[in-house]
């Protein structure tokens, strides 16, 4: 993948307010693939059963999906996301989420997304479909890259 694009996506995630709020970090990025991490923070990220809120786990999946989609240098947005929650993370667990592109056309891209804990236990699985707008990434031009690369 183009190093300017890679650096621009890493920078965009570092500056993204929601990712910061959730403590999500982008750790790996390649063409059509992304890995993000987050520590489950008990109480702050819990549901009414004192377990990880599904929205917190979904936020991690969505960030992996979002970043994997942008690796082609143009804006892609979610069309459909289907999640299966397999298990709840233990309080304080370090969560890793990987998104991998499984198909790519001019207008759509499909992704398989998986969340696991530090023991490798699968917590959630996701199938996601993105719409590829063809529009240049606005933060790429701001980072000194050529729009639409």
Output the domain CATH number for residue 103: 3.10.129.10
Helices assigned H by DSSP within the chain:
3-15, 17-22, 54-69, 138-142
Q: How confident is the model at residue 147 (pLDDT cuts 50, 70, 90)?
A: very low
Taking residues 129-136, report their average pLDDT: 97
**Is 121 contained in some domain?**
yes
Check pLDDT > 60 for residue 15: yes
**Structural domain total, the chain:** 1
**Closest residue by Cα to residue 99 from 84, 111, 83, 86:** 111
Domain that holds residue 42: 3-140
pLDDT at position 50 = 94
Tell whether 88 is covered by a domain. Answer: yes
pLDDT class of 148 with cuts at 50, 70, 90: very low
Percent of the chain with pLDDT over 70: 95
Task: Give how far the C-alpha of residue 118 lies from the chain's centroid of Cα atoms, to the nearest Å.
Answer: 18
Is residue 78 in some structural domain? yes
DSSP state of 89: P
Q: What is the value of pTM for the model shown? A: 0.93
Q: What is the pLDDT of residue 144?
A: 61
Inside any domain, residue 147: no
């Amino acid at each position: 993948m183009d190093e300017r694009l890679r650096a621009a996506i890493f920078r965009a995630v570092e500056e993204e307010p929601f990712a910061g709020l959730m403590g999500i970090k982008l750790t790996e990025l390649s063409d059509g693939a992304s890995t993000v991490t987050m520590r489950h923070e008990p109480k702050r990220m819990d549901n009414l059963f004192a377990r990880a809120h599904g929205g917190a786990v979904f936020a991690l999946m969505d960030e992996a999906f979002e970043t994997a989609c942008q690796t082609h240098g143009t804006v892609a947005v979610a069309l459909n996301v289907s999640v299966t929650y397999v298990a709840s993370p233990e309080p304080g667990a370090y969560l890793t989420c990987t998104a991998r592109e499984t198909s790519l056309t001019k207008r759509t891209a499909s992704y398989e997304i998986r969340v696991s804990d530090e023991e490798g236990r699968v917590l959630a699985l996701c199938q996601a479909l993105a719409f590829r707008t063809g529009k240049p990434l606005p933060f790429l031009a701001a980072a000194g890259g050529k729009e639409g690369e």
